[in-house]
Amino acid sequence: MQTVVENKRGWALRDVIFLAIIAIFFGVIYQLWGASYYFLSATPLKPYANDMTIGVWLMAGPLAGVLLQKFGATTIGEVLAAVVEMLLFSSWGAATLIYGFVQGIGSELGFALTGYKNWSKLGLSLSVLTSTIVTFAWDLVNSGYMAYKPGMLITLFAIRLISVGLFAGVLVYLINALVAKSGLMKR
């Protein structure tokens, strides 16, 4: 008789492989998604382009988190996707890594607030909220948002929250449900 011991806290080879797949897939998506940002930036919507498109750039981390359900998976997933994006000649160069880290930490905080015990709707909702707040604070300092008037800042924050909620919240939740239904990530 063989006994199988499940290690919920440690990292298995399967976890690392899934993390690599997520990073490669989203790194390519992130690089391609840059075209949407540049398209919007060439229109009167330019001031809103970053906030309208940021939700897609925040998907790898939460997806890695909900699929792997491990401390650090969210941050590592986002940073590795940023590495892939950068290696694909991202127009933002090495700054892509900094953004990936900020985005990953922002997403990770949501799951941390649950003590890494809720990887479903609550954890994902908190991840959406914390990543929106952290990335917005980063853009206040790094992207010149401090020059905007309060009304514009509120509008940008609301647009960002909707973008992050749709892509890094709802879409990640649906992808996770499909993966769970497939039986690929048996827990």
Q: Give per-residue pLDDT as tens, 36-93.
A: 999 999 999 999 999 999 999 999 999 999 999 999 999 999 999 999 999 998 888 8
Using alpha carbons, list the distances in angstroms from residue 20 to 24, 53, 112, 164, 171.
Answer: 6, 24, 22, 23, 20
Q: Give per-residue pLDDT as tens, 124-138.
A: 999 999 999 999 999
Q: How far apart are CA 87 and CA 36, in angstroms?
A: 19
The verdict on pTM exceeding 0.85 is: yes
Using alpha carbons, list the distances in angstroms from residue 5 to 8, 10, 41.
Answer: 10, 12, 52
